[in-house]
Amino acid sequence: MAIIIQRKGERAEIVSEIRFPNEAELQRYVYENPEILPIPDIKEDVQFTVLDKETPVRTGYIDILGVDSEGDLYIIETKLSTNSDKRKVLAQVLDYGAAIWSAHQAPEAFLRLLDERLSQKGTSLKELLERSFGQAAEEVEEGMRRCLESGAFRFIILMNRVPSDLKTLIQFVNSYSNFSVYAVELEHYKHRDLHIFVPHVFGAEERKRVPSSGSKRWDEASFFQVLVEKVDPNTAAAMHKLYNFTKSYADEIVWGKGGKGAFNAKFFIVSPKSLYTAWDDGKITFRFGWLVGEAAEKLRGKLGGELRAIDRLAPYVPTDEHRFANIPPEAWVPVCDELLAALDRFLAYAKEVSAERDDGPTPHMGGDGGLP
């Protein structure tokens, strides 16, 4: 299959698919660019981060180990279509999961092992989780403990081509067991300095799935009921203002799951993921790291500039705008109206940037496919 790219005013160009030279290169690319994994197609409304690569277990080495914002662990194996063991790879990833579960039913042992490996890279498990998930880091770590105890891992087999017999086997396993196994076929194209990835997920059709680490789903009533018990009246009133603003302008509000109440605001002109999360203790997390695409740098700069222009918020906005900003209620509640005005200006700017992007290159899929 080929992709056809056409920039306004120029002739269309055909971009052919390219291949990774070996499995090690595919693994390295995924480790450094986990955004190419189609996690939202596997599990909605979660943030994902990579924990480690080549993680040793009794039966071998896990190519990539990841975790989502609910504490579910992902065992990811990278394979090329030239590999002859197309079906054996399923047994391989399940074997890795069994090795972790049997050896580390006391989760602290595995978490210590992971912390030791990360310390060799100049960080710690706690620091990595805080950098990735902000104030939810402790809850994520607790979810990891529950996942290790239950063995309810999520397995992803990532290939440049998924053979039909492996697709059938995964669909069968997911339909008649408590496993969560997915095959991801990753098409890779390169046009000038632009890399294009087209992922196709197999196995996500069977939605019975084992329960996630945090099973409670919040809603408006339960969120505000808990909020008023935790915070002072001024914070509760400001949170209502923020929520009403979100209802008026956001394309989607996604309620969190787990022990801590939260709602997530999605503005599709900014990102398919949440722009900010409001928590039931009055904190707000701005998710700079979730702004992706060609305009991400512009949008991160504009959002950071708007927030830093408010003196009370400035100390909480990181200079590295790929990180998250966690703003406590004592900082934003007194300047709630200023914050909402800043968000209004930011969204207006995002619309302008979106209109400019419409004049950029337009990719088309050859054949009967389409870019997601």
Q: What is the CATH number of the domain that holds 59?
A: 3.40.1350.10
Tokens standing for residue 371 = 């870019």
Does 210 fall in a domain?
A: no
Tokens 């391989």, residue located: 92
Residue 197 is inside which H or E element, if any? strand 194-202
Rounded distance between C-alpha atoms, residue 47 and residue 70, angstroms: 8
For range 334-348, the mean pLDDT: 96
244/196 same-domain check? no
> End-to-end distance of the chain based on CA atoms, in angstroms?
15
Q: How confident is the model at residue 214 (pLDDT cuts 50, 70, 90)?
A: very low
Number of domains in the chain: 2
Q: How confident is the model at residue 87 (pLDDT cuts 50, 70, 90)?
A: low
180/265 same-domain check? no
74/179 same-domain check? yes
Does 39 fall in a domain?
A: yes
Beta strands at 262-266 and 274-279: parallel, antiparallel or unpaired: antiparallel
pLDDT of residue 205: 65
For residue 62, report the phi and psi dihedrals to the nearest 5 degrees: -75, 125
Q: How confident is the model at residue 86 (pLDDT cuts 50, 70, 90)?
A: low
158/255 same-domain check? no
For residue 205, report the phi and psi dihedrals to the nearest 5 degrees: -65, -30
**Which residues, in sequence order, are CB contacts of 372 under 8 Å at separation 6+?**
38, 198, 199
pLDDT of residue 104: 58
pLDDT, tens only, 168-183:
888 888 877 767 898 8
Check pLDDT > 80 for residue 4: yes
Least reliable range by pLDDT among 59-63, 129-133, 216-220, 237-241:
216-220
Share of the chain above pLDDT 90, in %: 40
Residue 235 is inside which H or E element, if any? helix 233-249
27/99 same-domain check? yes
Does 215 fall in a domain?
A: no
Beta strands at 154-159 and 180-191: parallel, antiparallel or unpaired: parallel
179/233 same-domain check? no
Q: Choose the final residue of a domain: 143, 167, 202.
A: 202
The average confidence (pLDDT) of the chain is: 84
270/229 same-domain check? yes
146/247 same-domain check? no
231/185 same-domain check? no
Does 330 fall in a domain?
A: yes
pLDDT of residue 210: 44
196/227 same-domain check? no
> Distance of CA 106 to CAs 26, 112, 150, 323, Å?
33, 11, 11, 32
Which range marks the domain in which residue 148 is found?
Answer: 2-202
Check pLDDT > 90 for residue 234: yes
pLDDT, tens only, 196-212:
888 888 887 654 444 44
Q: Contact, 282 vs 235, CB < 8 A?
A: yes
97/9 same-domain check? yes
Does 281 fall in a domain?
A: yes
Rounded distance between C-alpha atoms, residue 47 and residue 131, angstroms: 12
Does 87 fall in a domain?
A: yes
